[in-house]
Amino acid sequence: MQFIFEARDEAATEALGRALAEILPDGTTVALDGPLGAGKTRLVQAIAAAAGVEPGAAVSPTFVLVQEYHGARTIVHIDAYRLRDEEEFAALGSDELFAAPALVLIEWAARVMGAIPRDHVQVQIAERGESSRRFTITACGEGYESVIERLMAWQAALRA
């Protein structure tokens, strides 16, 4: 199951982040992919802000690899860009991170796809212009079809 959202500007990306923060259940792993500068970190920041994380706390974890943010919800933010392989990813303690009652957001997830839970939510981001983006959100495995259904209902309400 798949949901496509066309964000015309950064405000639309923030709205999507708020919706995801509300809709995604704790324990969800979100695999974020897209080219450099596509907006992976920006979407994470929008989700974190909506989850009550202090403004400015969510930053790209490229050099530290894993950040944990606490607000109304716990968010684990992982950047796999600098990792050599799935084994190095596993060495970060990924099994414990996936077992935590948190929302786990992984940037550059394609680099470690074999090491993430089979059941997850995939977010592919494509640049459509200077500030516009296309977000393709896919329910992978079991249990996330309701996330896609709720996103579709959210989008329908926006259009009404």
pLDDT at 135: 98
- Confirm if 40 and 17 have CB atoms less than 8 A apart: no
Written as six digits, the tokens of 28 are 């969800």
Name which CATH class applies to 2-159: alpha beta
d(CA 26, CA 51): 11
- What average pLDDT values come out for the chain (160 residues) when binned by 10 residues? 95 96 95 94 94 80 77 92 84 82 94 93 94 96 92 92
SS3 31: strand
pLDDT at 64: 66
Altogether, the residues listed in the chain come to a count of 160
SS3 53: coil
